[in-house]
Amino acid sequence: MDLEDAGSRTGFLIRDRDAKFTAGFDALFADAGLEVVETGIRTPRRNSLMERWIQTCRRELLDRTLIWNQHPLLHVPG
């Protein structure tokens, strides 16, 4: 599913400074119209805090959502 199909608009991709993210990776997202923002140098806690926040949102929102058929499934975020 494309983000545009869901009615969402994304402008930024926030990533860390790992060597596995090459210039081609950044170019791919730049071609899609996203601005790639790198996290600060030596800030490992920032990623863990955001991962924890996302995990909490998923647990609190999606674990309590009952999906009976395809119609509600198309409207569930995530």
Query: pLDDT tens digit string along 18-74?
Result: 889 899 999 998 888 889 998 888 776 777 788 888 888 888 877 777 777 888 778
User: pTM of the full predicted structure?
Assistant: 0.47
Mean pLDDT of 6-14: 78
Q: Is the pLDDT of residue 1 over 50?
A: no
Strand, helix or coil for residue 34: coil
Give the pLDDT confidence score for residue 78 in this predicted structure.
Answer: 59
- Looking at the structure, do residues 16 and 38 belong to the same domain, yes or no? yes
What's the domain count of the chain? 2
- Looking at the structure, do residues 64 and 50 belong to the same domain, yes or no? yes
Mean pLDDT of 10-24: 87
Give the pLDDT confidence score for residue 27 in this predicted structure.
Answer: 92
- Looking at the structure, do residues 30 and 59 belong to the same domain, yes or no? no
Task: Give CA torsion, residues 71, 74, 76, 78, to 10 deg.
Answer: 160
Domain that holds residue 30: 1-42
